[in-house]
Chains A and B, each alone.
Chain A
């Protein structure tokens, strides 16, 4: 069944590539995302009941963690593809994009989905690396889709910096392979994750230290952890809104998923302290960088991108704690952040579309001028800042609790300070955007196609925040895969 998940986006890409854009192709993309989500839910149910699915001769494997990530990918892909229809129609109507170019976008989005799914479903660390590198290549064209000077610069920076990161991650993988060969023998089987975890106590510590450091540096570049984050604001602000939503909401966390997989092996070979130290350092650094740079942002999309850096830093700190509670909170945070950030980016895409500018000072009084859109944006910001009832409140609280329990209280305190600074910065920027002199125009109406999915996304985020019920056992099972 696993190959179904991978095949669906590929199959949906084919007609998009053959014909020029029409609305049906957009809906085809939505259908593919929904099928992925549905299969992900089925997979999760199966896994929680105890049958881990294996496919393709051991190359693909779905355990609880993979199933969870598939659900995350599916949810945010659904939101993004729904908005994608609107985005492309508007671009073609405005003459900024030709139908051929639009169908290229559709093909690339499906390719993006397929490579991300391969990354989370791979059983072999080498295949996982190949998939993540493939995401970089696919997304470069998506980042540059708008064909402006800014997007050209953003995609150049993106591919150069992320390729360097991926190359470092490759070196880390090679070193893990070297250590594994002494334990498991030659061949592709040596990089199989499950068998590596089983034998992790026998792996050479010196090599594993170097390897894990390279993995954190390399995949951390794709996660957007400081100091390798410099591509993030540019890429996420210049890309089309649905692409930003997918990248900020999902791709960053898929790269972090890769770090988590390696962390399990490193913890087995080196003990938890080494990975913990590394992740605390990059996590805190990301928080500090995000806090210091958020205050001076003038562009709301860049603001959201830096906010992603902050959340990736929080996730890194949570993973550093490493206990079951911490990892479960991290995974919940991945889902909640993905949904909320996705909704925000999509809303800001709509704002950019109707207002024509991405500067904060040029879009005042959104709540009065465009009530529905402004309301969605406001609630999205509220969700991201960690207010109840949204799920980010629950996940951040539990991450902090876990960090205190493990002895990382000082790091938790520092992160709280940074979060307070960020809170202030985002509130002030948000206030500038949402409130202001009303003006005499009647409030504009936001199309239902735009508003309904976003409101549904925020509602889902709130629902999960109030009761973790549908995901509780899945989170527990997934956390057990990674936790200490």
Chain B
């Protein structure tokens, strides 16, 4: 019973992330459309897009190798494993023993690294340009990410993700401590950078010279593109889930009882939807930064994270 319960909750978590991720992307587009004064596509449109793409023909560039079809699979696989590790619905995820913040984050980065390699693999100019830009952003964001995780781990004395959540639940005052606030601010900037949202990258752009992420996946079509879209959506949902659970961990299920799990799912969806909606709302009012200004933004995130780490040490 216990094993079935844990497995069931794990499957529910992955499914929520998968379906919920696509719905999340649709929600963000809808919020943006509404604020801009348009009606916008229905919220479930990304689900329909994925279903449509699965039926289309798969094309591959002429000189691409085995990396090209493998990358989307690796992307989705890593996100699923990370979803199994992260305490989203339940505070005891399936692979909870090894659930370290570092591991979760680097799994996600592995997926995006594969996509970047695939972009290089296409042999086209746009793929190469997009990949190099994306890897630059990743490299710039990494110090900030590392120090953020350090800052978040200081108060709980460990970087084990469920341990951090349990420590936060035990001492709610830590939510408004400067350490946590600075670290979360830095984390938000890094999430925006990693998932390719404004002001780092415009997900809706069609101008090749301003594409970063879109340029990498320009050559994908059919089921490959479906997998990439799914993987990207899941990654965004997972990152936002991590963020909200670090910020406000209440509502997480601590056992496998149906009521608790259902409540946990609902609360998670609500929290993530709120944050995503807010992000989308803000995005309407900001413009994409020039590529040369990105180091400034990410260096600022680094200093914020550093402030958070230092505050955490002081507060102990």
Is there direct touching of A and B in the complex, by C-beta distance under 8 Å? Answer: no
Chain B residues with CB under 8 Å of chain A are: none
